[in-house]
Chain A
Amino acid sequence: MQEMMKKRAIELLANGTCDRVLGWTNGDFAYDQTPALFRTEQELEEGFVYNGFSAANLSKYLVKECRAGGKILVFLKPCDTYSFNQLVAEHRIKREMIYVIGVACDGKADVEKLKEQGIDGITAIKEEGDTYVVSTIYGDKTVKKEDVLAERCVNCKSRKHMVYDELIGEAGDVIADCGRFDMVEKLEAMTPDERYEFWRGVLSRCIRCNACRNVCPACTCEQCIFDNPKSGVAQKAAANSFEENMFHIIRAFHVAGRCTDCGECSRVCPENIPLHLLNRKFIKDVNTFYGTYQAGEDPAAKPPLGRYEKNDIEPGEAGGVKA
């Protein structure tokens, strides 16, 4: 897979379809990949990787790249294509400047889960059917994919690319019963006190590193209100519990109807806060109240907060209050 992608990227660079390639490269460790820009065949040969650790959603990086001009080749996994479409819909990126290669994905590995399986000193990872072969300094280990899949991939909503110019790997389908709202429902079934305790427990870990916001493909504001001293709500480090509540509620609200549920926020959170559960609550509510809507599915669709029905549900009727 990685080699096919690399070969094709080199071809497209050579024939002038694009002048640079947005992909992944290894960081300090093999499992710690970062997005990277490749301008030459040599750079690609040396640095380009694609494997079970290539988790980052590259679409957000196109906002900056589009401003720099030229023509960009980007590799997008199915979930990334939703973000891509959403960014196109919001005029944040220009479709005509980008050549999209869709790459098949059947889930990415979670390094924490690998470590839990006793796998350490990782140097490389390879997919073989439904297993990963992980090379370590202690030799190769084989694990079942399902045992080490990243949280968001366990409930993967779609293996279908919403957009691409060409596809590498097999085309997949939307997964209707992915169970991604199971945890939301579980929380909804709790009492308010239990819910409060749950959220207090997880949100109190927040250190306001802003990683969730910085990685989020829906958070591409020129300047975030939380960074803008003129907004009146700028905050830096979390001083107390309100800070986290405020920041995360408003962030979730700002991306409501726009969040594609790519799961990057939770993936990058150093404190493992399940931030995607906030977004999924909004997605679920939108589906329930206003009809099923998947951001990024159709760039021409009107977002749920940009339209209304005369007989919409009243705020007082929404959700259930458990005593």
Chain B
Amino acid sequence: MQDVNYRPKIVAFCCNWCSYAGADLAGSSRLAYPADVKIIRVPCSCRVNPLFILRAFQRGADGVIMAGCHPGDCHYTSGNYFARRRMTLLFSMLDYLGIERERTRVEWISAAEGAKFSKTMNEFAATIAALGENKRLEDLRCKK
């Protein structure tokens, strides 16, 4: 049974130039999203190693989302294009292993899209809350 006090843990990797700025705009526009979402700033979505995502799941994250500049708008020209291929393959593999696909997501959110940032995080948090705890990729040793 699901713990009534269950609060999902969600890690959001945001690129510095677009999505992190989008999060700032969501903040300054007071567009709320659940506190379960915690952001890690990376220079570019291409900095996100699949290892980090698995690590988050290992440590008990219930959902991991990566947000970057829209394709074509990468601050570093091509970073998000590479990130897109990597995440496509990784997510497909997680799906193949029977790990709920909905626990991982990629969104392209520009610095101007504070509303999209908030909406995305709300949606994602709701999806994860509905899925419940991540049981398939967590490392029980990391639980207290």
How far is A253 from B87 in the complex, measured between Cα atoms in Å? 10
Q: A195-B96, A240-B140, A242-B138 are in contact. Are A286 and B105 (CB under 8 A)?
A: no
Beta-carbon contact of B90 and A253 below 8 Å = yes
Beta-carbon contact of B98 and A286 below 8 Å = no
Give the nearest-CB partner of A184 in chain B: B96
Beta-carbon contact of A310 and B81 below 8 Å = yes
How far is A171 from B99 in the complex, measured between Cα atoms in Å? 43
Chain B interface, >50% SS class: helix
Beta-carbon contact of B81 and A313 below 8 Å = no
Q: Which residues of B contact A184 (CB under 8 A)?
A: 96
State which of A200, A253, A282, A312 has its C-beta within 8 Å of the C-beta of B84: A312
Q: Mark B77-99, 1 if CB is under 8 A from A, else 0.
A: 01001101111111111111111
Give the nearest-CB partner of A247 in chain B: B54
State which of A187, A243, A308 has its C-beta within 8 Å of the C-beta of B82: A308
How far is A290 from B55 in the complex, measured between Cα atoms in Å? 27
How far is A240 from B137 in the complex, measured between Cα atoms in Å? 11
Q: Mark A35-61, 1 if CB is under 8 A from B, else 0.
A: 000000000000000000000000000
Give B105 Cβ to nearest chain A Cβ, in Å: 7
Q: Which residues of B contact A285 (CB under 8 A)?
A: 88-89, 92-93
Interface assignment of B130: CB less than 8 Å from any CB of chain A: no
Q: Which residues of B contact A291 (CB under 8 A)?
A: none
How far is A282 from B102 in the complex, measured between Cα atoms in Å? 19
State which of B71, B88, B93, B102 has its C-beta within 8 Å of the C-beta of A249: B93
Interface assignment of A271: CB less than 8 Å from any CB of chain B: no
State which of B54, B98, B106, B139 has its C-beta within 8 Å of the C-beta of A315: B106
How far is A196 from B94 in the complex, measured between Cα atoms in Å? 10
Interface assignment of A188: CB less than 8 Å from any CB of chain B: yes
Chain A interface, >50% SS class: helix
Interface assignment of A239: CB less than 8 Å from any CB of chain B: yes
Chain A interface residue bracket vs B: 35 or more
What total of A-B pairs shows CB separation below 8 Å? 117
Q: Which residues of A contact B71 (CB under 8 A)?
A: 310, 312
How far is A174 from B54 in the complex, measured between Cα atoms in Å? 37
Q: A308-B82, A312-B84 are in contact. Are A321 and B54 (CB under 8 A)?
A: no
Give A231 Cβ to nearest chain B Cβ, in Å: 9
Give A204 Cβ to nearest chain B Cβ, in Å: 13
Q: Which residues of A contact B85 (CB under 8 A)?
A: 289-290, 304-305, 308, 312
Q: Of A249, A253, A256, A282, which is in contact with the most chain B CB atoms at under 10 Å from its CB?
A: A249
How far is A190 from B67 in the complex, measured between Cα atoms in Å? 30
How far is A261 from B100 in the complex, measured between Cα atoms in Å? 27
Q: Which residues of A contact B55 (CB under 8 A)?
A: 233
Q: Of B72, B86, B89, which is in contact with the most chain A CB atoms at under 10 Å from its CB?
A: B89
Q: Which B residues, 90 to 126, have Cβ-Cβ distances below 8 Å to chain A? A: 90-102, 104-106
Give the nearest-CB partner of A197 in chain B: B98
How far is A262 from B8 in the complex, measured between Cα atoms in Å? 41
Beta-carbon contact of B92 and A250 below 8 Å = no
Q: Which A residues, 177 to 195, have Cβ-Cβ distances below 8 Å to chain B? A: 184, 187-188, 192-195
Interface assignment of B4: CB less than 8 Å from any CB of chain A: no
Q: Which residues of B contact A198 (CB under 8 A)?
A: 98
Beta-carbon contact of A196 and B98 below 8 Å = yes
Interface assignment of B58: CB less than 8 Å from any CB of chain A: yes
Residues of B within 8 A of A (CB): 50-51, 54-55, 58, 71-72, 78, 81-82, 84-102, 104-106, 136-141
Residues of A within 8 A of B (CB): 184, 187-188, 192-200, 233, 239-240, 242-243, 245-246, 249-250, 252-253, 256, 278, 281-282, 285-286, 289-290, 304-305, 308-310, 312-316, 318-319, 321
- Nearest 4 interchain pairs by C-beta: A196-B98, A195-B98, A308-B81, A242-B139
Q: What are 5 of the A-B contact pairs (CB < 8 Å)?
A: A184-B96, A253-B93, A312-B88, A318-B88, A318-B95
